[in-house]
Amino acid sequence: MKKTIAFLVLCLTVFATSTFAQHIKFGVKAGADIKKLSGKSFDDQFSYGYHAGAFTEIGITKKFGIQPEVYFSQVNIDTSNAFSAVYDFKKISNIQLKYINIPILLSFKPNKFVSLQAGPQFGILMDKGNTVLQNGQNAFKQGDFSMLAGIQMNISHFRLYGRYAVGLNDINDIDNKEKWKTQTIQLGLGFAF
């Protein structure tokens, strides 16, 4: 149900803004995800993963546009020694999280080479990794709502970007002992057609 709603919101956004758009470009993107989960159950360090997907650039005026995206991301998160003690699990040292992320970014272009971007992102958890499932627990909530901000360099058809995303909701689905929130740094390269 959540996947269907997210897909419909994305389609409606593209359709509604394309009516007023000066130009539309489609593209593909890929890069690195550097993610951290806050909470005493996780190591206080960033873990590395990747992302890959597609985007649409919809120009509303010369300076402003909307950039909806859909991409897959995967990252391995290291747990601390306290994780097994707090939640009475067997020893779990690594959790793999896989998300389908849907950001809708507002782009401001002070010039043709630079885009400043910000907006909301909804992440749909696709896979929690076998180690958590083997313990019989739904540890992570199915959705992660974040706010993104970053910069994108536009060089011909290439898009070089860096972003920071901060999770706004608690993704701990076990109990209320502690709040788990995400922080993600994204670095990547895209190509617009």
pLDDT value for 136: 32
Q: Which CATH architecture is the domain 2-192 placed in? A: Beta Barrel (2.40)
| Sign of the dihedral defined by the CA atoms of residues 154, 155, 156, 162, in that order | negative
Cβ burial of 28 (10 Å; 0-12, 13-18, 19+) is middle
Query: Which 8-state DSSP code applies to residue 130?
Result: H
pLDDT of 26 above 60: yes
Alpha-carbon dihedral 79, 167, 49, 148, rounded to 10 degrees: -160
pLDDT value for 133: 41
| Domain residue limits, the chain | 2-192
Phi, psi for residue 62 in degrees, rounded to 5: -65, -30
pLDDT of 36 above 80: yes
- In angstroms and rounded to an integer, the radius of gyration of the C-alpha atoms of the chain is 18
pLDDT digits 0-9 by tens, 81-127: 555 555 555 555 567 888 899 999 999 999 999 999 999 999 888 85
Cβ burial of 22 (10 Å; 0-12, 13-18, 19+) is exposed
Between 144 and 161, whose confidence is greater?
161
Q: What b/e readout covers 68-88, taking b as 16+ CB neighbours within 10 angstroms?
A: bbebebbbebbbbeebbebbe
pLDDT digits 0-9 by tens, 149-186: 999 999 999 999 999 999 888 777 666 777 788 899 99
pLDDT of 64 above 70: yes
SS3 content of the chain, % helix, strand, coil (to 5): 15, 60, 25
